[in-house]
């Protein structure tokens, strides 16, 4: 299932490039406006080096993606996304086959990595406000025996709702936190980015 992991990363990369301006506009409201640009340049580099990356196992592949992201994306985004891919790769280890049951442990490891590196938690108006409820919903769907497309449909809906739910929150981390109450009423760029990527992945998977 290395190909499936590669498919997911490719979909994320394509979405980052296609939505560069949208993500930048989201960030510019209360951030410094470089989120979309930084993310696009990092995933652009991943795609450029695609054939050079170690594709022997899913874990090795994700660890190398992490290194590229960390070295080519500036600021907090590089740290957060690099940590996410690194934690995912470490969780899969040397496994040659990724099963549906591996998804939740990988996502939980990513959540813990972001909590630690970003010094943030649920309710701080960050990626976690979309990632945690979406992971919980995916875990419940897997436990209920849903198939891949059903799980994706659930993830799309929950992530969209969770991203929208960041509007009334006060930003407590990142550049947006400097704006204080002005952050209230705005979408969190990271949460909206994740919801967009999950929706695109669902569409790509069906196609």
Return the domain boundaries, the chain: 2-206
- The count of residues in the chain is 207
CB neighbour list of residue 171: distance below 8 Å, 6 or more residues apart = 30, 124, 125, 177, 179, 183, 188
pLDDT at 117: 87
For 49-71, write each residue's pLDDT tens digit: 999 999 999 999 999 999 999 99
Instruction: Supply the pLDDT for residue 77.
Output: 81
Report the pLDDT value the prediction gives residue 29, as an integer from 0 to 100. Answer: 59
- Two tokens, residue 151: 């799980």
| 50 DSSP assignment | G
* Contact between residue 126 and residue 190 where contact means Cβ atoms under 8 Å apart: yes
- At residue 36, the pLDDT reads 86
pLDDT tens digits, one per residue of 72-81? 887 778 889 9
What pLDDT is recorded for position 163? 94
Which residue reads 């952050």 in tokens? Answer: 183
Give dist(CA 70, CA 203) in Å, integer: 28
Compute CA 71 distance to the chain's CA centroid, rounded to the nearest angstrom. 18
CA angle 53, 94, 201 (to 5 degrees): 60
Question: What value does the CA radius of gyration of the chain take, rounded to a whole number of Å?
Answer: 16
Q: What is the pLDDT along the chain (207 residues), one digit of tens a residue?
A: 568 999 999 999 999 999 999 988 887 655 556 788 889 999 999 999 999 999 999 999 999 999 999 998 877 788 899 999 999 999 999 999 999 899 999 999 999 999 998 888 888 788 999 999 999 999 999 999 999 999 999 999 999 999 999 977 766 555 544 444 545 657 788 899 999 999 999 999 998
- For residue 180, what pLDDT is reported? 46
pTM of the model: 0.90
Q: Which CATH number does 2-206 carry?
A: 1.25.40.340
Tokens of 74: 């500036």
Long-range Cβ contacts of 84-87 (<8 Å, 24+ apart): 84/110, 84/113, 84/114, 86/62, 86/113, 87/112, 87/113
For residues 42 and 78, what is the distance between their CA atoms, to the nearest angstrom? 8
Predicted pLDDT of residue 202: 97
């Amino acid at each position: 299932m290395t190909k499936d992991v590669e498919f997911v990363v490719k979909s994320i990369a394509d979405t980052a490039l296609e939505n560069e301006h949208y993500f930048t506009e989201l960030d510019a409201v209360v951030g410094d406006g470089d989120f979309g640009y930084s993310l696009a340049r990092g995933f652009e580099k991943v795609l450029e080096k695609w054939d050079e990356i170690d594709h022997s196992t899913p874990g090795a592949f994700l660890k190398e993606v992490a290194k590229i992201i960390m070295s080519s994306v500036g600021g907090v985004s590089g740290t957060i996304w690099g940590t996410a891919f690194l934690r995912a790769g470490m969780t899969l280890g040397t496994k040659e086959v990724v099963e549906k049951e591996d998804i939740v442990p990988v996502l939980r490891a990513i959540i813990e990595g972001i909590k630690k590196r970003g010094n943030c938690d649920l309710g701080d108006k960050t990626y976690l406000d979309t990632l945690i409820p979406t992971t919980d919903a995916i875990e419940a769907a897997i436990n209920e025996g849903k198939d891949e497309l059903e799980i994706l449909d659930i993830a799309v809906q929950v992530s969209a709702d969770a991203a929208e739910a960041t509007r009334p929150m006060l930003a407590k981390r990142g550049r947006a936190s400097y704006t204080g109450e002005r952050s209230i009423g705005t979408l969190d760029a990271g949460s909206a980015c994740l919801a967009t990527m999950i929706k695109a992945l669902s569409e790509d998977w069906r196609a």
